């Protein structure tokens, strides 16, 4: 099919019908990834650290299977595989989350030296606002994890997933699904309008009662 065919009214209507199914599929994939969890690196702004105090380099966060609680806690080293909920000391109910903020709006990106330390952190930073001006701050390990987590958290809050990854996944999956559904219509002219509904017959004598 050429580009004009894909802009025809029936094809656009089919695309609109399929799109909510694809968005729901992407949403479930994001939430499943949050349930698996991610290891995040801690960003320290302290120049000198007390040798008597134990400082952790990593922390882990994952969503509970019922999607109601975020479990998180400090780790001494980067884990190999998933970390069990039982070993994560802290909890944050999803119902207490008020908003998701990103980039320069994050509290830990407003601290002195944070931006100078690494400007790339801006593209990987996000925070959860809960209770009275309390924040849970994140630095994603890479752009892919940043998109997965911000999408998943927005989905939990009933908001739209707006990351570049979602847009790319949506375009790819929609295109694949459209092509699969249109395979049987190859080399067939698709009309711009549905065929007219025929008039009612003058008699219904041809209808039989099976009973």
- The pLDDT-based confidence of 194 (bands split at 50, 70, 90) is confident
User: ∠ at Cα 165 (40, 141), nearest 5°?
Assistant: 15
The set of residues, in sequence order, having a beta carbon less than 8 Å from that of 43 and lying 6+ positions away, is 108, 114, 117, 121, 139
Label residue 191 exposed, middle or buried (CB < 10 Å: 0-12, 13-18, 19+): exposed
- The pLDDT-based confidence of 5 (bands split at 50, 70, 90) is low
The model's pLDDT over 38-47, given as tens digits with 9 standing for 90+, comes to 999 886 655 4
C-alpha closest to that of 192 among 31, 2, 8: 8
Residue pair 90/103 in contact (Cβ under 8 Å)? The answer is: no
Does an H or E element contain 135, and which?
strand 134-139
- The pLDDT-based confidence of 54 (bands split at 50, 70, 90) is very low
58, pLDDT greater than 50 = yes
- The pLDDT-based confidence of 55 (bands split at 50, 70, 90) is very low
C-alpha closest to that of 44 among 34, 36, 53, 56: 56
Does an H or E element contain 12, and which?
helix 9-36
Q: Which residue has the higher pLDDT, 206 or 162?
A: 162
90/83 Cα distance (integer angstroms): 13
51, pLDDT greater than 80 = no
Structure confidence at residue 38 (pLDDT): 93
The model's pLDDT over 64-117, given as tens digits with 9 standing for 90+, comes to 999 999 999 988 877 777 888 888 889 999 999 999 999 888 888 876 565 555
Structure confidence at residue 1 (pLDDT): 53
Q: Which residue has the higher pLDDT, 121 or 158?
A: 158
The model's pLDDT over 132-186, given as tens digits with 9 standing for 90+, comes to 788 999 999 999 999 999 999 999 999 999 999 999 999 999 989 988 888 776 6
The CA-to-CA distance between both ends of the chain, in Å, stands at 49
The model's pLDDT over 6-22, given as tens digits with 9 standing for 90+, comes to 667 778 888 899 999 99
């Amino acid at each position: 099919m050429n580009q004009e065919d894909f802009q025809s009214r029936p094809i656009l209507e089919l695309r609109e019908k399929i799109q909510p199914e694809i968005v729901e599929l992407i949403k479930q994939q994001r939430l499943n990834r949050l349930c698996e969890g991610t290891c995040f690196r801690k960003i320290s702004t302290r120049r000198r650290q007390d040798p008597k105090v134990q400082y952790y380099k990593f922390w882990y966060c994952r969503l509970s299977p019922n999607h109601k609680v975020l479990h998180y806690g400090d780790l001494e080293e980067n884990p190999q595989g998933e970390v069990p909920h039982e070993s994560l000391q802290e909890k944050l109910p999803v119902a207490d989350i008020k908003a998701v903020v990103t980039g320069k709006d994050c509290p830990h990106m407003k601290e002195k030296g944070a931006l100078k330390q690494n400007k790339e952190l801006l593209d990987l930073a996000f925070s959860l606002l809960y209770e009275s001006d309390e924040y849970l701050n994140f630095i994603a390990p890479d752009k892919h994890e940043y998109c997965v987590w911000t999408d998943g958290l927005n989905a939990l809050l009933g908001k739209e997933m707006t990351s570049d990854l979602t847009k790319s996944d949506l375009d790819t999956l929609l295109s694949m699904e459209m092509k699969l559904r249109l395979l049987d219509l190859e080399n067939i002219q698709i009309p711009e309008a549905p065929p007219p509904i025929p008039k009612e017959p003058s008699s219904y004598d041809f209808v039989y009662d099976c009973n």
